[in-house]
Structure 1
Amino acid sequence: MLELKRRLARLLVEKSYREGDFVLASGRRSDYYFDCRVTALHAEGAWLIGTLFNDMLKELKIKGVGGMTMGADPLVSATTVISHEQGRPLHGLLVRKEAKGHGTGQFVEGLGNFSSGDSVAMLEDVVTTGGSLLKACDRVRAAGLSIAAVCAILDREEGGREKLREAGYGLLALFTRKELVELAR
């Protein structure tokens, strides 16, 4: 798996990592920006992400994976497709930022593949403060599911891990910024 992580790190640095002056979703300013969607929507990138998340989750008793739309959409898709390919099918769910304005008016899509109490892992591309991930977790729990793990591609190491821990979740991350840069060399 280390070689796959190296391949993903190189691709992430090439496609998704930018240095400059940026305002993040959390409102914080940063000297770098990580737009994982570019890599997650790249054919090899999606395969690597799905494969590495499946490896990370292989020991957990979960029925599926989910995350906040739109950042987690390609992560959930890649992970579910690879899980099926590996003979351990995981279903996906997506959490809306706002409740659907018509039909059932729900926040969580894909619930028809789950039963109340099923356990899932939540996926995120980048964790800074953990705010988006916590909101997604709250909505999934309110929909009747339990959360076995929270996972990210990149932990920016800016307090998100600690906020998640305070809420009772341990963060599993493929990379920290330092690890990402080192593995990409």
Structure 2
Amino acid sequence: MTVETDRARLLELLRTLSFERRKVILASGKESDFYVDCKRTTLTAEGHVLVGRLLLERVRAIRPLVRGIGGLTLGADPIASAVALTSFLEGEPVDAFVVRKEPKGHGTGQWVEGRRTIPDGARVIVIEDVVTTGGSALKAIERCRVEKLVPVACLALVDRLEGGREAIEAQGVPLQALFTRRDFIP
């Protein structure tokens, strides 16, 4: 498979399984006339493989290679898992991490799961399924910095082109998205 073939197939899956034209209230609180629920695609076996391969290509382009990849639970979780699995199979392991929305209520009280293999000062990539205002990615970036991790990029499956890129990049973290709203609504 080529990157172009994988990208075309992933877009087909996202359009078929994840995209809907209807009125919804987004996580940002904004109203929209379309919705992209990437979990419907990333949680399928095929979607998981495609996301892993496509985003690992983006990760490889960020040098020096990063040590971790993750974001705010729940949308980022299957994406980070896919990249971590693919990176290991390709011989370039990048471990996944999960940023909680609130600290763990018992035990260690952790905000970030998966830190045992990702040391302080490590370069990491923040993952997002869909970027609207950038709120989830910004929370993950902030939490990574508090945890002494260094976010060097943000990768997303879909950028809705509604200001999220600008908000994320204002924090010094460049955003790359595989797709934008134009791929769904010409």
TM over 0.5: yes
2:43 is aligned with what amino acid? Answer: L
In structure 2, the partner of 1:116 is 120
Give unpaired runs (5+ residues) of structure 2: none
CA distance in 2, matches of 1:113, 1:69: 19
Partner residue of 1:57 out of 42, 56, 59: 59
In structure 1, the partner of 2:133 is 129
**Is 1:92–2:96 an aligned residue pair?**
yes
In structure 1, the partner of 2:5 is 3
In structure 1, the partner of 2:18 is 16
CA distance in 2, matches of 1:35, 1:70: 11
Q: Could you give the per-residue CA deviations for residues 121-179 of structure 1, whole angstroms, max 9, x where no partner exists?
A: 11110000001100011101111110111010000000000111111111110011113
Say which SS state the counterpart of residue 21 (structure 2) adopts. strand
Further displaced range: 8-17 or 52-61: 52-61
Matched-pair contact (CA < 8 Å) for 2:152–2:174: no
In structure 1, the partner of 2:105 is 101
TM-score, length of structure 1 as denominator length: 0.96
Matched-pair identity in %: 45
Say which SS state the counterpart of residue 34 (structure 2) adopts. strand
Give me the CA root mean square deviation.
Answer: 1.0
Matched-pair contact (CA < 8 Å) for 2:153–2:175: yes
In structure 1, the partner of 2:154 is 150
Q: Could you give the per-residue CA deviations for residues 19-55 of structure 1, whole angstroms, max 9, x where no partner exists?
A: 1100000000001000000100011001000110001
Runs of 4+ that moved beyond 3 A: none
Give unpaired runs (5+ residues) of structure 1: none
**Is 1:77–2:81 an aligned residue pair?**
yes
CA distance in 2, matches of 1:114, 1:166: 25
Which structure is higher in RCO with an 8 Å CA cutoff and minimum separation 6?
A: 1
Partner residue of 2:145 out of 141, 148, 153: 141
CA distance in 2, matches of 1:115, 1:81: 19
Q: Could you give the per-residue CA deviations for residues 105-127 of structure 1, whole angstroms, max 9, x where no partner exists?
A: 11100110111101011111000
In structure 2, the partner of 1:179 is 183
CA distance in 1, matches of 2:57, 2:102: 32
Matched-pair contact (CA < 8 Å) for 1:40–1:46: yes
CA distance in 2, matches of 1:165, 1:133: 11
For these two proteins, the number of residue pairs brought into alignment is: 182
Say which SS state the counterpart of residue 20 (structure 1) adopts. coil
CA distance 1:157–1:114, change in 2 (3 Å)? same
**Is 1:26–2:28 an aligned residue pair?**
yes
TM-score, length of structure 2 as denominator length: 0.95
2:117 is aligned with what amino acid? Answer: N
In structure 2, the partner of 1:162 is 166
